[in-house]
Structure 1
Amino acid sequence: MKINPTSKKIHPLRSLILLAALAIPLVLSACGNNNDLKPVEGKVNVVTTLYPLYYFASEIGGEDARVVNLVPTGVEPHDWTPKSRDIQIASEAQMLLFNGAGLEGWKDGFLKGLNANKSRLVVEASQGIELIRSEGDGHGADEHADEHGLNVDPHTWVSPKSALKMAENIRDAYVQADPAHQAAFESRYNTLRDKLQALDQKFTAELAPYKGRGIVVSHQAFGYLCRDYGLNQTALMGLSPDAEPRSQDIVNIIQFVKEHQIKAIFFEELVSNKLTETVAKETNAEMLVLNPVEGLTPEQEKAGDDYFSLMAKNLQNLKKALQ
């Protein structure tokens, strides 16, 4: 949801907001290494670029696949770019699994750096999903623009409905890469599909009472979730979580929160919440996590969290904010 400026007066909060925006630190750093990532004989060796892809590919591939995610734990994928070692790892894989929809802006150059291998599959998991496009506003989303200059929302996996299509695409890629194990891939895919369908049904049923309601988020990552379950998002920042917000936008959001009596503002764990804190303090709103499931924090990885546990927490916090 885009909020248009309503006043040309200088707002007293602007100085505070600008200071908060400038104080946003870089994405949390985390240690990550690619030890023991040599290809395994007799398995489909898969390289992914995003945690949900890694999770889905691991679930469907099972014992017949070796799946490596290039983005380390705790690193925000929007800010990650591949290194020479990543190119080497990908060169030895039989399948490269990208999200697509403009998420991996470095993909073309990356593919050119790989060794020649006509049998290597390059898969975009978002194929077949109706993508969300909007006109650019100069607010940090241009890196996701399509050939028509429209900004493409790449966060397809955040909706269980879209995740179902992504899992299907991954299943099809495995069958193409290793038809001898088709039955095993189909069986594991069916198990994952059933869990995603159950999650979709749970989101549909439990968010139904709040159709048409708005949520305020730090990062414009929930377009597919909102589209599929009848909500509207207003974001402090654009499609990239490090997009620099404009002071007038933040003033308008503060006014929006107050006017619509928004009880909670959502932030995420892989980026700074300084700006969210500023808005929350000005509006007396609660701060809650809404996870775009772009990656795990080290603590989440240690606790055994996965796509489903994070999405379950998202649903719980959405209901808390909307009640």
Structure 2
Amino acid sequence: MKFWNHGLTALSLSVMLVAAGCGSSTGSEGNNNAGYSSSSSTGASANTEATEKLEIKTSFYPMYEFTRHVAGDLANVENLVPAGMEPHDWEPTAQDMAAITDADVLIYSGAGMEGWAEQVLDSATGSGLKAIEASHGIELMKDAEEGHEHGEEAHGEEHEHEDGEHAHEEQAHEGEGHTHDEGGHEAEGHEESGHHHDHGGLDPHVWLSPALAVQEVRNIEKGLSEAAPQYKDQFKTNADAYVAALEALDKDFTAALKDSKRKDFITQHAAFGYLAKQYGLTQVPIAGLSPDQEPSPSRMADIVKFAKEHNVKTIFFETLVSSKVADTIANEIGAQSAVLNPIEGLTEEELADGLDYIKVMRQNLEALKAALNE
């Protein structure tokens, strides 16, 4: 049920969709929320039997997971990207656009991760949709690929960059859970469609640092409290419980990685820059921010050289894309390949096994510990 009466007719929505040109060849078919819907969560919640629940759409798995913990029983939370689908490859269909516009709240990470967000929010203007950008106010890093693409060393020691140099261009903007008409800050270049996604030169993978995940959860809490202020206390109680679990995860990462033998690790996808920076590590990505990006032959040669010189024994790949690039390098240097999961989405099998963000992050920690102490 719509939390606000925005008065859109089916005809006016159709006109907006046509004007926005929202058709997509990469949109999902049927039930987009397979494996990703929840009307309840662990944590404190009010008795909602006679309470109208918020209808919330989330952009991809981490946003779904964070939101359901904050919202608890006060919302129906549905994810837009289906289980097992790489979110970089997803774009909304007309059906998705209508579902978003009819929701009370859309929660997305931002920082250029959801290249479709600007178009969707433009189409929803006047609908009363509350848009919460979870990464708002977080200092963003530049694309690590820019720093090493033509360099002779693959080590990428400059990936972290100087503090403050790449601050979020709207960091001074008050109100992290802002609505779209207050001014979004998606990176430029999102009008392109297809499988190549321009993040505007910024790294959107902030959720892979548990410390930054805490900030995203707090932004979600703030935005939901603005959307339904009568439930502010419940949202805070739920968020506090989940933040405590994230802070414990952060402490475990710090303790486990501070004394590792090596500080660099090779990944197929440049998704772990924030995690590396948080724990004093160096990510050495084979390719760039988009997981389907193919590395150049010179980049492959640089990685092989670096791996041999530094006696690297593990090349990391991820679950939702092909591991052929990582496997090629591993075979070349006599190393093994292993999973380091960017948690952009879980498969149906992972969901059936009861995995979630914190459990997968603990798997990542074990994988890093093993690789950094070989």
**TM-based fold match above 0.5:** yes
**TM-score, reference length from structure 1:** 0.84
Q: Does 1:213 align with 2:263?
A: yes
Contact 2:33 2:79 in 1 (8 A): no
Corresponding residue number in structure 2 for 1:264: 314
- Give the C-alpha shift of residue 122 in structure 1: 1.0
The equivalent residue for 2:338 is 288
Query: Aligned partners of 1:272, 1:135: CA distance in 2, in Å?
Result: 21
- How has the CA–CA distance of structure 1 residues 193 and 99 changed in structure 2, closer, same or farther, with 3 Å as cutoff? same
RMSD: 2.5
Letter in 2 for 1:247: P
Q: Please say if residues 74 and 296 of structure 1, whose CA atoms lie closer than 8 Å, have aligned partners that are also in contact.
A: yes
Contact 1:158–1:222 under 8 Å retained in 2: yes
* Aligned AA (2:199): H
C-alpha spacing 1:303/1:142, structure 2 compared with 1 (3 Å): closer
Partner residue, 2:123: 113
TM-fit CA distance, 1:32: 6.5
CA deviations 1:110-160 (Å, max 9, x no partner) are 22233632x321111001211101486497997011xxxxx1000000110
The Cα offsets for residues 264-308 of structure 1, whole Å up to 9 and x where unpaired, read as 110100000011111000111111110001000111011111001
Show the counterpart of 1:25.
none
Q: Does 1:126 align with 2:107?
A: no
Alignment partner for residue 173 of structure 1, among 209, 223, 226? 223
User: Hey, what's the Cα distance between the residues in 2 that align with 1:210 and 1:141?
Assistant: 36
SS of equivalent to 1:133? coil
Q: Kindly tell me: are residues 30 and 267 of structure 1, through their superposed partners in 2, closer, same or farther at Cα, counting changes over 3 Å?
A: farther
The structure, 1 or 2, with the larger RCO (C-alpha pairs under 8 Å, 6+ apart) is 1
- Tell me how far apart the structure 1 counterparts of residues 355 and 59 of structure 2 sit (CA, whole Å): 19
Distance 1:34 1:79, change over 3 A: closer
Shift of 1:213: 1.1
Choose which of 72, 75, 79 in structure 2 pairs with 1:62: 72
Structure 1 135/209 Cα, relative in aligned 2: closer, same or farther at 3 Å? closer
TM superposition shift of 1:245: 1.0
Counterpart pick for 1:312 among 345, 348, 362: 362
* Identical positions, percent: 41
Give the whole-Å Cα distance in 2 for the aligned partners of 1:134 and 1:270.
21
Tell me if structure 1 keeps the 8 A contact 2:33–2:78: no
Whether contact under 8 Å (2:304, 2:332) holds in the other structure is yes
Q: Counterpart of 2:64 in 1: which secondary structure?
A: helix
Contact 2:58 2:80 in 1 (8 A): yes
Q: How does 1:29-68 map to 2 (within 5 A)?
A: 33-34=31-32, 42-68=52-78
Counterpart mapping for 1:5-154 below 5 A: 33-34=31-32, 42-114=52-124, 116-117=126-127, 119-134=128-143, 137=146, 143-145=198-200, 151-154=201-204
Question: Which consecutive residues of structure 1, in runs of 5 or more, have no partner in the other structure?
Answer: 1-28, 146-150
Q: What is the aligned partner in structure 1 of residue 237 from structure 2?
A: 187
Query: For each residue in 1:53-112, what CA deviation from the matched residue of structure 2 results, as whole angstroms up to 9, or x when unmatched?
Result: 000100110100111110000000011111111101101111111111111112221222
Amino acid at match of 2:101: S
With over 3 angstroms needed to count, the CA separation of the structure-2 counterparts of 1:284 and 1:84, relative to structure 1, is: same
Distance 1:135 1:311, change over 3 A: closer
